[in-house]
Amino acid sequence: MISFVLATRNDGYGGALADVGNFTMRRLQITVDSILRLPCPSEVVIVEWNPPPDRPGIAEFLAGRPVRVITVSSELQELLDADNHGRPLPFYEYVAKDIGVGSARFERIIVCNPDNIFPQRGFEAVMNGIADGVLVRADRMEVAAEHSARPIEELLDCADAGGLEIIGRYSGAGGDFCGLTRATYERVGGFLPAHGNRGLDAEFQHRARQSGVPVIQEYAHYHIHHENAVREAPGRPLSVGASQPIAADLTRSWDQFAFEVET
């Protein structure tokens, strides 16, 4: 059994697309449905970061799907803003993912992004590869945003058959796919608690390698292209080197600001 952990919010991230009412939430639906088709029992844990008060929560877009939604309240965002001396960072991706890992029910975990399509072909290598002391990575195959306007089942069938044209391929996109056990995550020390997002996935992988964790990469998944697919949106960047550490008292307590909602 595997827990998939991802983080998002209904904030229009990635821009808009003609013929798709809510491009951000459509990508989330595609990702969830692709996970639920995989040949293994899985739970899907979606961490919703500080939902915008003027938009519906993500649970509204996932009705009927067997997922868990963990919502992080605005109070944590306010505390992080204060700790970051008012510098804007509206979405703490890796804090959200850390909360998701802590909420996962299974020992084997895949931390991923809400823009992906996971083909069934080759996934057996992932299931066999996630073991204590191992980090499983995957290539990211970029596909055109327009695919998200297709009926989801048709799109996923095409992806499973290898019928999607690849417009770019990336081997270092660790935020999109990272498979490991909870014990390995904790032993490496989890994602760096910093006021930033960009580079924290690579920093975690580097720390894992430095501690002797072997990295295997025998799988490839699709990624739906969007406005910020290669270069981050304003308000979300900050490299590891430019990021300030989050105060220790916050890192020890942020789980208390998260609660599970019904879907």
Q: Measuring CA to CA, which residue among 118, 106, 100, 2 is closest to residue 48?
A: 100
Give the ranges where the chain is alpha helix by DSSP (H): 23-36, 74-83, 93-103, 123-129, 152-160, 182-188, 200-210, 248-251
Q: How far apart are CA 180 and CA 97, in angstroms?
A: 13
Residue 261 CA, distance from chain mean position:
19
pLDDT given at position 229? 66
Q: Which two tokens stand for residue 97?
A: 């993912």
70-111 pLDDT per residue, tens? 999 999 999 999 999 878 889 999 999 999 999 999 999 999
Identify the burial level of 259 via C-beta atoms within 10 angstroms of its C-beta, where 0-12 means exposed, 13-18 middle and 19 or more buried.
Answer: exposed
Q: Tell me, what DSSP letter sits at residue 252?
A: T
Q: Measuring CA to CA, which residue among 68, 76, 25 is closest to residue 50?
A: 76
Architecture of domain 2-261: Alpha-Beta Complex (3.90)
Q: Which of 16-25, 104-113, 114-123 has the lowest mean pLDDT?
A: 16-25
- Centre a 10 Å sphere on the Cβ of residue 116 and count the other Cβ atoms it contains: 23
Domain boundaries, the chain: 2-261
| Main-chain dihedrals φ then ψ at residue 153, nearest 5 degrees | -60, -40
Q: How far apart are CA 70 and CA 246, in angstroms?
A: 21
163-210 pLDDT per residue, tens? 999 999 988 778 899 999 999 999 999 999 999 888 899 899 999 999
Q: How confident is the model at residue 236 (pLDDT cuts 50, 70, 90)?
A: very low
Q: How far apart are CA 119 and CA 34, in angstroms?
A: 7
Question: What DSSP element (H or E) covers 111?
Answer: strand 108-112
